[in-house]
Every structure is written in C-alpha cells, then in structure tokens.
Amino acid sequence: MEKLDARGLSCPEPVIMIRKAMLSGGTGYEMTVDNTASKENVTRYAQHEGYTVTVAEKDGEYTLTMTK
Amino acid sequence: METEGRLTRLASCAGCGAKVGAGTLVRLLEGFQTRGDPRLIVGYDRSDDACVYQINEHTALVQTTDFFPPIVDDPYLFGQIAAANALSDVYAMGGEPRLALNILCLTDQMDQKTVQEILRGGYAKAYEAGAVIAGGHTIQGAEPIYGLAVTGFVHPDRVLTNAAARPGDALILTKPLGVGILTTAAKADLVEQPVLERLYAQMAALNKTARDIMVRYPVHSCTDVTGFALLGHSYEMAQGSGCSIHLEAAKIPYHPEAYELAEMGFIPAGAYRNREYAGAEVKVGPAVTRALEDICYDPQTSGGLLMALPEGAAEDCLARLRETIPQAAVVGRVTERQAAAIYLD
C-alpha cells in the first residue's frame, strides 16, 4: 500500500498526485487530505479508475484507502 | 525582470472559483446594518449582480465591481476575461457600461510587459463595450488580481433584477457551462489546446450582444451565471422571485469535455461550496447523473446571461440570439413556488 500525503494541497493538486501514482499501475494507495473538496475529488478519480474507496475521518483530515 | 513561470501558478485559485461562497457571505453579513436611500433601486439587501441608483426619471446608474486571480497564463487574455466578467454585471441588469476603473494587484514576480498586457486586455474589452477606463488603483500583494469597477446606465423602468421572474417564464442561458472544471483540469494539462481556445474565446466574449437582443423582448428577470454556478444563481432568482425553477438537464449547454473530467474529480472547490449553499433547495431527478449535477454547480468565469421571459416570446428571442450566439438555449421554466426552489430533471 503506497502512502501519499496531500494535506495542505488544494484542488486539483491531490487529484494530480493520485493520478501520477496510479499511472504506475499499483493496486493499493492510502492518501490523506484535509478538505472535503479533495476528499470528494480523489474519491471520484479513484472510482473512475476502477478502485474501491473507503474513507476514514479524523480531526478534519480524511484518509482514503483505494484498492483494486 | 521577467514574469517567473506561468501566471496561473502565482494564484491559489482561479477566476470566479476564488469567489467567497454565497453561504459564507450570507453568514458574514448577517445583522450588518446599512442605510437605505429611496433612490437606491437595487441595493445591498438583495443578492443581485449590481446596484442601481436612480438619478432622474430617465436615468439610473448601475455600479458593480468584479476581480479575481489569473485564470489563464496569457496576460492579455486574462485582462480581457476579467474585464468581460466585470462588465457582464451591468449587462445582467439590462444596462450599458460607460465608465470603468482598473483594480490591480501586483506581485514581485510580474514584469512590466505582463502588467501592460493585462491592462491592454482590459482596455480592449472596455472599448468593445463602449466604455472608457478612466483610472484605477494598484496595490502590491501575495497574488495577482485584476478586474474593474464599472459604472453603466439603464432606464429606471427597464432595470432587470434577478428577483422578478414570473410563473410561465422560460429561461434562456447564453453560454455553455463547464468553465471551472475545464480550467481546473487544464492545471493538470488534461485539456487539449483547441478546447482551451474555445473556452478562452467564450470567457473573453462580452455579454453585450445577448443584452442588446434581450432588451428588445419582454424579459422579466436576468442574472449572469458566474461564481455561484447555474444552480446557485438560479436558486437566487427563484428565492428572490418567490417562484420555483425547473431546469431540464438534457437542454443545458455545456462543453462536452467537462463531463468526463467531472467524473475524474477535476471539480473546483467552488463547486462544492455552491452545492453547500443551494443543495438543500435543489431537487435532482433520478435520471440526472452526478457529473451533470457537478457541471450545474460548477463556478463559471465570465459566464452567460440567464434570462426569464414569457414562454411565448422565448422562441423568437432564442432564434435571434442564436444568429450570433449558437450555444444559447432554453434550459428551463419558472413555476409557482413549490416545495423546492429548484428542480433539475
């Protein structure tokens, strides 16, 4: 599971980050974001690429686990 | 000194996406005391595009200001888009812009040529609009900003507010949606150049032609679709008019490339703020996809006019608009107030 930290980044940077990572063809990623727009957008991107996404929230931060 | 890197990289958010959310604005201004004036026809208490102040029985002043960080890298184009966007608020009130002032914020990274190109773009659009830029104010700041404060004129009896739509009206939108999504995806280099060229031309296009045609028809109400998106601005029109608005998803014009990019999550944060603002009053039908919904919440920079006019006049008006603005479309209709302010089916 590759871990990515996108805290402090605003759209579209977190999506660009996960896109770059997924282009390498991995099967599992965990990304932390700190705003709802990024949470939604990264979820959308991962689902579009065929990943299953689960989201855990803690103290205003979201950890997205993306697998396929 | 040369401007370092891309102009959009100097900005944290782009165009009308930088606009503070409508919900936040309402909260910030809650309880704020203002003074009225009987000559102020449209003022602070209304969520309208511009204020209108009556000078005499024939003339009212229309005043507005709009400015934002760079949405494109070409400074001349940025100047044109920012000016077209600012001038649009006068057109949305049914008025004609006549006088404008520059609003400019510079950063250390911007060279003289860049600044002159931005201003040149603004002047070009003001000239095209028949307005003159007579001065302005420039400050130094953390990110570039450009826009205008615009003064225009309108006959006091022909002011078009966003709060006067009537049941039985059809709604015409004059520019396709998807600007915010496409400019967000452009930051990831995911938008082809011809698509960007089309988008840039649209954003730089004045709403003058649409306004000039509109005023020849019995239009009741008008607004321009900008930062609060089609749904946010429709919501304000519905609330202000005490009506409900029914939008037909299949008729809403948008840039087709924006659809898949929305599915891929290239959605500006402003779209989520718009959803938060209006979402509770928007009833979305089961046939409407999430991506299309996102397009309807997408903040537009220098978007088109949204006008409400009797259904009987709409067809002819649309035909006239389409002679020069082929993307114009009837996107919905106005009804008596129902449970929700907006229905998107």
Name the domain count of chain B: 2
Which residues from chain B sit within 8 angstroms of residue A35, using beta carbons? 269
pLDDT of residue B31: 87
Which residues from chain A sit within 8 angstroms of residue B271, using beta carbons? 37
Q: How far apart are CA B240 and CA B227, in angstroms?
A: 18
Phi-psi bin for B131: left (phi > 0), alpha (psi -120 to 50), beta? beta
Q: Are B17 and B85 in contact (CB under 8 A)?
A: no
Strands (E), chain A: 2-5, 28-33, 52-58, 61-67
Residue B326, CB-side half-sphere exposure with 13 Å CA sphere: 0
Mark yes or no for CB contact A37/B264 under 8 Å: no
Query: Which CATH number does the domain housing residue B63 bear?
Result: 3.30.1330.10
**Which residue, B99, B134, B158, sits at the end of a domain?**
B158
Domain boundaries, chain A: 2-67
Residue B293: which domain range?
169-344
pLDDT in tens, B189-223: 999 999 999 999 999 999 999 999 999 999 999 99
Report the length, in residues, of chain A.
Answer: 68
Region A33-55: mean pLDDT is 96
pLDDT of residue B14: 57
SS3 B301: coil
Spans in chain B with pLDDT lower than 50? 1
B259 in A contact zone (CB under 8 Å) = no
pLDDT in tens, A7-30: 999 889 999 999 999 998 888 999
B317 in A contact zone (CB under 8 Å) = no
A55 pLDDT above the threshold of 50: yes
pLDDT of residue B1: 42
B154 and B173 together in one domain: no
Mark yes or no for CB contact A10/B187 under 8 Å: no
Taking the model in full, what pTM does it have? Answer: 0.94
Residue B251 lies in a domain: yes
pLDDT of residue B9: 79
Strands (E), B88-144: 96-106, 132-140
Look up B16 and say whether it is catalytic.
Answer: yes
* Tokens encoding B167: 């049941």
SS3 B15: helix
pLDDT of residue B17: 61
**A13 → chain B, closest CA residue:** B188
Element (H, E) at B153: strand B145-154
B150 and B16 together in one domain: yes
Query: Is A2-67 a CATH 3.30.110.40 domain?
Result: yes
Cis preceding linkage at A12, omega within 30: yes
SS3 B23: helix
Query: Which CATH number does the domain housing residue B233 bear?
Result: 3.90.650.10
Residue B2 lies in a domain: no
Residue B163 lies in a domain: no
Mark yes or no for CB contact A42/B266 under 8 Å: no
Q: Are B222 and B293 in contact (CB under 8 A)?
A: no
B136 and B175 together in one domain: no
**B267 → chain A, closest CA residue:** A41
Residue B114 lies in a domain: yes
